[in-house]
Amino acid sequence: MKLFIFSLVVSCMALPLHADSKGGPDRKSLLESDPDVVYMSQTLKKPLHLKVVKEAPVFFYKNGSNRIGVLKPDQMVEVEAITDRSYRVRGQGMRDEIAGWVAPWAFSSKDPKLVENLKLLYERQLLVRKLIDDQQVAIGMTLDEVTKSQGKPTKTSVRKTAEGQTGQWEFIEYKDVKNYVTRVDPASGQIYRQLVSVTRVERGKTVVEFENDTVTAIEENEDRQGGNVRIIVPPLIFGW
């Protein structure tokens, strides 16, 4: 059996601040649709702020093209999105507020492994996104991610202790089987099939075991087995 160990989330184009304010909700949704970008509002429960340690160029595009200004040092900025090579931040430029893509070297954090952890976060979330799109689950996913992939569980059980909680979710797929009987028309003598009932039968089942909101084991019946154990890095805890 093969093991795939996957090591967090979404993208957006960099824009000056005044350009962000004109599009409304539809424009924001469009901006947060880049498949190569991880958006922090969709990933972390609270905003991520980093300190700017030196002047840094700000770019319109995530690949470092189309420079739109310079980020002032000695300020805290909010990180709105990340790739594996740059961060989209919102902060103070030399004259006005600005939002765009900046290289990681411009920032510092209480977390000495900031760049490394954000790269892990980025890689993990791209994998989670694909699992959700493919309606699959993996060890290391959160229950919220499982819900996005599978929907609401058919059956749940939870055990709470002083150390936390454990339990399992069951996802059952059903199919309808139509039942017919053969009859003979007494007037014409013609033979025909008549629907007499519909039986709902189980087509597939996935059981997800979890501990403190993180999947620890997955059981699938024969119809749903994918052939590989799917494992990803659990949610990361940052020290900022």
Residue 184 has pLDDT above 80, yes or no: yes
Alpha-helical segments (H) within 21-87: 24-31
Residue 25 has pLDDT above 60, yes or no: no
Query: Each residue of 118-164: pLDDT tens digit?
Result: 999 999 999 999 999 999 999 999 999 999 999 999 999 999 988 89
Domain 143-232's class?
A: alpha beta
Residue ranges covered by each domain of the chain: 7-133, 143-232
Query: CA 11 to CA 14: how far, in whole Å?
Result: 10
131 φ/ψ angles, rounded to the nearest 5 degrees: -60, -40
- Confirm if 221 and 173 have CB atoms less than 8 A apart: no
Q: What's residue 2's pLDDT?
A: 39
Query: Each residue of 74-94: pLDDT tens digit?
Result: 999 999 999 999 999 999 999
